[in-house]
Amino acid sequence: MQVFSVVEHIENEPNIGQASSSRAEHLWSRAVIRTRCPGSYCIDAQGGSDLIRSINSTGGQRRRQGSSLLLGLCVLLTIVLLTTSGGCVSETALEEGIPSQPRDLISSSGDEYVTLEWLSPESQGGSPVYAYEIYRGLSPDQMATMGTVGNVTSYNDNSVENGVTYHYKVRARNEQGWSNFSSLTNSTPYGTPDAPTGLQASTSGNQVNLLWVAPSDDGGLPIQNYRVYRGPSASQMSVLITIGNVTNYSDGSVSDGNTYFYRISAENMEGEGQYSSTIEVTLSGGGIDLTTTIIVVAVVAIAIVLVAFFLMRRR
């Protein structure tokens, strides 16, 4: 461990003892760095005293006096450089200064939105946290601020596109300044597809042929199916059939002389999207339905019987 070699280097810097110490006392007078390992170092400034101690495994100690500014620098450098061996754990408690970082940042997403949630810093530092700043980017190393929010621990980002992965981090602010950033989180919003467009219909015999254009926005996920709706009116429609990712369908279960209404919707893994416009189709003169066929057959059969009867009478 190199803590005191750093301390001695700072002490030997020219004019370090002449710097103003009031700010250092305010920020660091109650800072405590402790470790649970024998042979480790401790800087203890409780109660405003300027005491630097080295605690070793034999219980000996070394004392040095220094300015409050020096003490503050030592504490700061100790936080960065202090390391332990043998799996020992260090504790840091800063009761004055900037907040610690926000904790447990998580994200969830839906149709064109991402929701962030986090826990407030474990330590608020020298004054209460009053704001958080949200950073977002398309990669962890290319992130920019989205702005700040008040003392809240959630945020809804509604300026996202479905199918795009966004990375986030958050930092807290009090009167002393900004904390370090939270851990990163990322989320990919998805939604249901937009409506199919350009629905057209044509008839051939007792068949209605439908054709449409795929949605311009698939919700960020591939379209899996289309649902074909049919009904006797625009207000009385139900699913006729669900087909795969194709943009045409031929309905052969129709009757000549009847009117039908159709509409289409697309589906992805998130669910069913919006309906297309509704189209009306009337079959007339394009074919003969089953009822008409039965009547024609019956008439023909009766005619044949009558002809046969008259021929027999003439004999």
pLDDT of res. 291: 58
pLDDT of res. 176: 93
Q: Which domains does the chain have, with CATH numbers?
A: 3-93 (no CATH), 103-187 (2.60.40.10), 197-290 (2.60.40.10)
Q: pLDDT tens for residues 88-110?
A: 333 343 445 999 999 999 999 99
Cα–Cα distance, 219 to 271 (Å, whole number):
10
User: 43-52, 174-183, 290-299: lowest mean pLDDT where?
Assistant: 43-52
Count CB-CB contacts under 10 A for residue 64.
Answer: 15
pLDDT of res. 247: 97
pLDDT of res. 96: 59
Q: Average pLDDT for residues 224-253, to the nearest whole number? A: 96
Percent of the chain with pLDDT strictly greater than 70: 66
pLDDT of res. 293: 62
pLDDT of res. 139: 96
Instruction: Give the chain's end-to-end CA distance (angstroms, integer).
Output: 132
Instruction: Quickly tell me which residue has 């919003």 as its tokens.
Output: 189
Q: pLDDT tens for residues 64-77?
A: 334 444 444 444 44
- Asked if 140 and 164 count as a contact pair (C-beta separation under 8 A), the reply is no
Helix (H, G, I), strand (E, B) or coil at 309: helix
Cα–Cα distance, 227 to 234 (Å, whole number):
16
pLDDT of res. 242: 97
Q: Average pLDDT for residues 182-190, to the nearest whole number? A: 97
**Residue 204 in this model has a pLDDT that exceeds 60:** yes
- Asked if 94 and 176 count as a contact pair (C-beta separation under 8 A), the reply is no
**Residue 175 in this model has a pLDDT that exceeds 80:** yes
Cα–Cα distance, 260 to 144 (Å, whole number):
54
Helix (H, G, I), strand (E, B) or coil at 132: strand
pLDDT of res. 315: 62
Question: Could you tell me the pLDDT band of residue 53, with boundaries at 50, 70 and 90?
Answer: very low
| pTM of the model as a whole | 0.56
